[in-house]
Chain A
């Protein structure tokens, strides 16, 4: 039996096909967010991995910002519930999840079954989100996916004092004018993100073990500095970006077996 989870995020769409609620059959990521062709594209892409048909899916559960508008879904859940279940699937020992998505940050505490016990989200502000990193990468003229490796080569972090994305953008431009090393500047940007995210995580309470999900978890520079800020190791799974879609597929399976 196959269940399909689709996470229609603000900047990317992710999909996972789960077999019998226990084995990942296929996974796909499309770097297009809600309101674009991303949702349809990721559906085709994930089905194509093992040449499956939509009819093969017993249940489809959708999450993420586009969860209300995806035609063909059997049900929808919030992305926090899905990330919690997805990370629990990948790391059953995790009790604190930090998810940095395209436009928001979430800190979640979960129990042994992956059910949410508490959560906090950022307010209406892009500070510390994936969008913040997108903006900074564009100014520095590097690919956002390369930021992690670049930041790890820093020898001296440049302090970015503004948390506001727009003001931080101005600050980064002024640092570029002062000819600072790009690696040091990127490390400073990562520190800014880490501080912002850590304050949110502290607000929710941190219980070990800690894992990160969402696309920004792939940025090793942010993860390393966040570990420093919260003074704990952070687990990152190679499927971290797919945690929401995976959790959606798990929940779809559970809905069939209620």
Chain B
């Protein structure tokens, strides 16, 4: 087993350079299918013997995406389209896009027109999840996705293969949750940037491979004496907490991340696929079980309570709301989130997250002020 810094550096490298992972898997003769945020049935890709790879855009000031995407659309969508149009995703056999919000609705058309060499598999998760038929509808949607993936893979995807992938994904979820707990005992080693890298790298690696690496990290952490963190502790909530500069600012201000409700990170790992008889029905059941997320409709948002619980359980001093620019679902949830956390005695600060700019001056001022305020 490698030493801990080496293990962490490897996952940092994966998170920083997903393109290298794409090249690696293609060189192994594997097909790779891109998975758009936030919830995609990646298990079906995995079951087909292909590699599901997260498509989360990146820091770029788009030049060509403007042909099809307005400037006031979610910056992840714009950067994904930009990278797609510029050929940065070349090698992907297809992309799966869940139409989870209005931005996705427009993006599906933009992708089809702008990125003709990478076919798009779109699917819709039912937002009214309490009605009869929601589960059956989604299982049928997943059935269509499965058929399209079978065409790409060149073979059928068996029920047993899906069951096997589901087991791997559930096990991976448990491993990442264990990592999050272990990280809190070693906040000197697991800096905000490293914590993010371990979580984010999951999107770009085959899940069993990633889980094995994270398990090794957890074992190595267990060998270290527990660290008593003297700085401030926060919980992050939002879609993503990027770029890395932002996480560096947290470290500079002696802020540790002790929990997150980020779509790119813990929201991916907190809801397991439930038990059941039919694998597609089980996958649909996972969507019906999801909660406390801005793209999941609930009569009353469970997110504020979840964030408060996360903060209290992990003794956080405050909450950083990472508000994705032009993400309407997140913008609508912000006032409730800020108000509810304040009522619970948890100070919060809102940081603007935008993939189209790397200027972090305002974030630096806000975070320094936040620490001075705590």
Name A's B-contacting residues (CB within 8 A): 65, 77-81, 104, 115-121, 123-124, 203
Q: Is the CB of B325 within 8 A of A123?
A: yes
Q: Is the CB of B373 within 8 A of A116?
A: yes
B234 to chain A, nearest CB (A): 15
Give every chain B residue within 8 A of A77 (Cβ-Cβ).
368, 372
Q: Is the CB of B369 within 8 A of A81?
A: yes
How far apart are the CA atoms of A124 and B323 in the complex, in Å? 13
B13 at interface by CB-CB < 8 Å = no
B121 to chain A, nearest CB (A): 34
Q: Is the CB of B361 within 8 A of A65?
A: yes
Q: Is the CB of B357 within 8 A of A124?
A: yes
Q: Is the CB of A120 within 8 A of B372?
A: no
Give every chain B residue within 8 A of A124 (Cβ-Cβ).
352, 354, 357, 359, 362
Chain A-chain B contacts (Cβ-Cβ < 8 Å), number: 42
Give every chain A residue within 8 A of B372 (Cβ-Cβ).
77-78, 80-81, 116
Give every chain A residue within 8 A of B350 (Cβ-Cβ).
120
8 Å CB interface, B346-374 against A: 347, 349-350, 352, 354, 357, 359, 361-362, 365-366, 368-369, 372-373
**Chain B: how many interface residues by the 8 Å CB criterion?**
18
B144 at interface by CB-CB < 8 Å = no
How far apart are the CA atoms of A79 and B347 in the complex, in Å? 19
Give every chain A residue within 8 A of B347 (Cβ-Cβ).
117-118
Contact of B342 among A78, A118, A120 (CB under 8 A): A118
A35 to chain B, nearest CB (A): 12
Instruction: Give the 10 A-B residue pairs with the shortest CB-CB distance, closest first.
Output: A78-B369, A80-B369, A116-B373, A78-B368, A81-B372, A123-B352, A78-B365, A81-B369, A78-B372, A121-B366
Q: Is the CB of B357 within 8 A of A80?
A: no
Q: Is the CB of A104 within 8 A of B369?
A: no
Give every chain A residue within 8 A of B368 (Cβ-Cβ).
77-78
B369 to chain A, nearest CB (A): 4
* B349 closest partner in A (C-beta): A119
How far apart are the CA atoms of A29 and B352 in the complex, in Å? 31
Give 11 pairs: A residue, B residue, CB < 8 Å, sorted on A.
A65-B365, A77-B372, A79-B365, A80-B365, A80-B369, A80-B372, A81-B373, A116-B373, A117-B347, A124-B352, A124-B354
Give every chain A residue within 8 A of B366 (Cβ-Cβ).
119, 121
Given A121-B362, A121-B365, A124-B357; 10 other pairs, CB 8 A cutoff: A65-B365, A78-B365, A80-B369, A81-B373, A104-B362, A117-B373, A118-B347, A119-B369, A124-B352, A124-B359
Q: Is the CB of A119 within 8 A of B373?
A: yes
* B323 closest partner in A (C-beta): A123
How far apart are the CA atoms of A49 and B127 in the complex, in Å? 67
* A65 closest partner in B (C-beta): B361
How far apart are the CA atoms of A78 and B249 in the complex, in Å? 13
B239 to chain A, nearest CB (A): 16
Q: Is the CB of B325 within 8 A of A115?
A: no
* A204 closest partner in B (C-beta): B338
Give every chain B residue within 8 A of A78 (Cβ-Cβ).
365, 368-369, 372
How far apart are the CA atoms of A81 and B354 in the complex, in Å? 25
A105 to chain B, nearest CB (A): 11
Contact of A115 among B361, B365, B373 (CB under 8 A): B373
How far apart are the CA atoms of A118 and B347 in the complex, in Å? 7
B183 to chain A, nearest CB (A): 28
Give every chain A residue within 8 A of B361 (Cβ-Cβ).
65
How far apart are the CA atoms of A80 and B373 in the complex, in Å? 10
8 Å CB interface, B72-130 against A: none
How far apart are the CA atoms of A117 and B372 in the complex, in Å? 10
B344 to chain A, nearest CB (A): 14
How far apart are the CA atoms of A79 and B357 in the complex, in Å? 23
* B365 closest partner in A (C-beta): A78
